Amino acid sequence: MFANQLQLARALELPTRQAMLYREQSVQHFWNSNTDLITNAWIEWETTSIDSSTFTLDDTLLDKNLREAVKQAWDDPAKELAVKALLHEVAPDVFQFQFFDPERRAVLRGYLEQVWNSQIPMRPPYGIVLNRRGAMLDSRSEGYLAAPSFQTFYNEILNTYMRPISRMLFPEVIGFDTQTFGFSIYYEPNIDSSIRPHTDASAVTLNINLNLPGEEFTGSEVDFYHPYTGDIKSLTFKPGTAMLHRGNIAHAAKPITSGERTNFVLWLYGERGRLPTQGTPRIPVDAKQRWSNPNKPNDGYAPF
Ligand SMILES: O=C(O)CCC(=O)C(=O)O
Ligand SMILES: [Fe+2]
């Protein structure tokens, strides 16, 4: 690797928000022609700018009960009910649970703060809307957060936690959960404040809140629409909690009226973005099948 990749990456001129919103060809060209430089810059950044003893991203950042129950289920899938007991169904097929440890989460936030200050070009998510202070998290996405310790942590969340838990709750996602996708979003009043009703291009979505205890906000509820009656269930994120739901359940983020909210949004889907069809039978499978890794390579497909 060449030295000074970090300096060179910092000197790049990021495409304008306008160009990104219009998906101009120059934007694609920017990411394609700078991929190696930016990836190397993240490696250099992590070795030179991050104090790895303070900012260790590992499973001790997660809720202790969840971590221990999940570990037990991997050792012996017959014990997965201890994981299920931690998940609360708060709307039909929407589950909420504590994901991060309230105290330890400061480590992750501190790390992410330094990511923002790194001045390495990052691609904001422009799915339904463009979120200015969001980042792409998955290696299949251009301009993703390629810092190695973050990537290890991100993949652990998906593979060790999200996939088996999703399979336990929504058995029809098995086979439509080999591919991963992720981004972060940051809401603040009058800037990026809401997301209109939509479904996700995922089989299943895990939405994890990163607010610290005491970091309060008003508004910003996530509304879930009942698939048959259209009734709305309005839910609020408590710091460090997660919501897990099928991608095809309609939801919206209401405007945030004060404070800030930061979340990771993680998706699983099948190869080339395949999703379970409506009415796929929900046949429970053997627990061993859930607590396993699919071993399929990343196919590079990204929905946006
Ligand atoms: O506001 C939220 O946390 C939900 C975000 C969401 O639905 C999405 O990013 O697709
Ligand atoms: Fe969504």
- The string of pLDDT tens digits covering residues 60-96 is 999 999 999 999 999 999 999 999 999 999 999 999 9
Of 182, 246, 184, residue with least CA distance to 209: 184
In a domain, 263, yes or no: yes
Question: Pocket around ligand 1: residues whose beta carbon is below 6 Å from it?
Answer: 185, 195, 200, 207, 222, 251, 253, 263, 265
In a domain, 12, yes or no: no
Whole-prediction pTM: 0.96
In a domain, 19, yes or no: no
Instruction: Report pLDDT for 280.
Output: 81
179-192: pLDDT as tens digits: 999 999 999 999 99
In a domain, 69, yes or no: yes
Atom of ligand 1 nearest to the CA of 220: 1
Confidence check: pLDDT of 1 > 60 = no
| Cα–ligand 2 centroid distance for 264 (angstroms) | 11
201-217: pLDDT as tens digits: 999 999 999 999 999 99
| Cα–ligand 1 centroid distance for 152 (angstroms) | 23
Q: Report the DSSP beta bridge partners of residue 241.
A: 98
In a domain, 79, yes or no: yes
Ligand 1 pocket test, pick from 94, 131, 244, 251 with the greatest ligand atom count within 8 Å of Cβ, gives 251
Supply the range of the domain harboring residue 279.
57-290
Q: How many angstroms separate the CA atoms of 274 and 92, rounded?
A: 23
Of 295, 246, 243, residue with least CA distance to 268: 246
Q: Calculate the CA 172 to chain-centre distance.
A: 21
In a domain, 74, yes or no: yes
> Residue 78 carries which DSSP code?
G
Q: b/e map of 147-181 (b: 16 or more CB within 10 Å)?
A: beebbebbeebbebbbbbbbbbbbbbbbebbbbbb
Q: Would you put residue 181 in left (φ > 0), alpha (ψ -120 to 50) or beta? A: beta
CATH of the domain at 257: 2.60.120.620
In a domain, 272, yes or no: yes
In a domain, 22, yes or no: no
Looking at the structure of the chain, the number of domains it has is 1
